[in-house]
Amino acid sequence: MHIYIFKRVLMMIPTLILISIVAFLVIQLPPGDFLTALTAGMEGRMTPEEIAYLRERYGLNDPMWLQYWKWISGIVFEGDFGYSFQWRRPVSELIWSHLGLTVLISFVTLLFVWAVSFPIGVLSAVRQYSFSDYFFTFIGFIGLATPNFLLALVLMYVGFKYFGQSVGGLFSPEYQNAPWSWAKLGDLMAHLWIPIIVIGTAKTAELIRVMRANLLDELHKPYVATARSKGLGEMRTLIKYPIRIALNPFISTIGWVLPSLVSGAVITAVVLNLPTTGPLLLGALRSQDMYLAGSFILMLSTLTVVGTLISDILLAWLDPRIRYQ
């Protein structure tokens, strides 16, 4: 087990280096830069000397490799993610100021996905071709086929029409800039159900199908028949053997959980007007704010690699066959 973990960690180092290079190159691919986009509509209002000063100040005249080295060395050695041209603030301040609510929404959504998809997936497999199986299969296909932003618009209408909630955002107008209190927390809980359902619907439907398929595959294997023939109860047989193996897809979702804790659902966040990091990343990409966008891409990619490592370790612990493959 220790050798398996050591090999997986060792493989992360060159992967993270390549990710940082690719993240920086992606930001540099569009023609021009942030300053070019900024001054495009300001002809006559900025002198060439002012533009040259800004380019020198932001290091835009440096070669690409030097810009990359300043960026990545600042992150690794000083924890400095650079300066946001668009917001005129350090990137770290922008990320952390939007991270709290993003983590809250993503974590609660994850609990919702697991709590709903696990029992329904087991029920659909155990009672194959029953009414409940067909019903949840139908609901699951609808969940997979419905775009999240469309579902967001429908739930916003329902929330406003029948529950009198303000449309969009996580707080009512009177609590938007108010200090934290029990009343503000209650208002947050009242608004939180819409983004949780919208963001979690597609993943819930997907995991229901995966859990059902995996469990059906395990239920027809000889070891289950052997356990039943020895007089082991049906529920104990299910929990001890096939369900444990069928849990692998749930564990493997950790690979997407960590980046989703930071990014959230970008389009859904824009539609619902959520104060999360998703719209911040989208704005950075559109304005070519390279330090902010590059830091986000690097963070999401790194968390994907770390999440994959954690899921691999948990899978190897849950199913020892994996570590020997």
- Out of 43-47, 122-126, 177-181, which region has the weakest mean confidence (pLDDT)? 43-47
d(CA 251, CA 8): 17
206: nearest Cα among 135, 126, 106, 139:
139
Contact 300, 284 (CB under 8 A): no
pLDDT bracket for residue 229 (50, 70, 90):
confident
d(CA 234, CA 231): 9
pLDDT at position 59? 72
- Per-residue pLDDT at 67 exceeds 60: yes
pLDDT at position 227? 79
pLDDT at position 285? 79
pLDDT at position 32? 67
pLDDT bracket for residue 301 (50, 70, 90):
confident
- Per-residue pLDDT at 121 exceeds 70: yes
- In terms of C-beta density within 10 A (0-12 exposed, 13-18 middle, 19 or more buried), how is residue 306 classed? middle
Q: Beta-carbon neighbour count of residue 240 at 10 Å? A: 12
Percentage of the chain surpassing pLDDT 90?
0
Q: Read off the pLDDT of residues 204-226 as tens digits, 9 standing for 90 and up.
A: 888 888 888 888 888 888 888 78
d(CA 92, CA 83): 8
Q: Which residues touch 134 (CB under 8 Å, ≥6 apart)?
A: none
pLDDT at position 176? 75
pLDDT bracket for residue 178 (50, 70, 90):
confident
Chain-centroid distance of CA 7 in Å reads 26
Residue with more model confidence, 131 or 42: 131
pLDDT bracket for residue 166 (50, 70, 90):
low
What average pLDDT does range 129-156 have in this prediction?
84
What average pLDDT does range 249-273 have in this prediction?
70
- Per-residue pLDDT at 264 exceeds 60: no
Q: Which residues touch 87 (CB under 8 Å, ≥6 apart)?
A: 94, 289, 292
Enter the pTM of the model: 0.74
Instruction: For the chain, give the mean pLDDT.
Output: 78
pLDDT bracket for residue 41 (50, 70, 90):
low
- Per-residue pLDDT at 325 exceeds 70: no
32: nearest Cα among 51, 53, 57, 46:
51
Q: State residue 89 phi and psi, 5-degree precision.
A: -145, 155
pLDDT at position 254? 67
Percentage of the chain surpassing pLDDT 70?
86
pLDDT at position 139? 84
pLDDT bracket for residue 146 (50, 70, 90):
confident
Q: Read off the pLDDT of residues 70-111 as tens digits, 9 standing for 90 and up.
A: 888 888 888 888 777 778 788 888 888 777 777 788 788 888
pLDDT at position 240? 75
Residue pointed to by tokens 């020892």: 320
pLDDT bracket for residue 245 (50, 70, 90):
confident
Beta strands 89-90 and 83-84 are antiparallel
Contact 144, 205 (CB under 8 A): yes
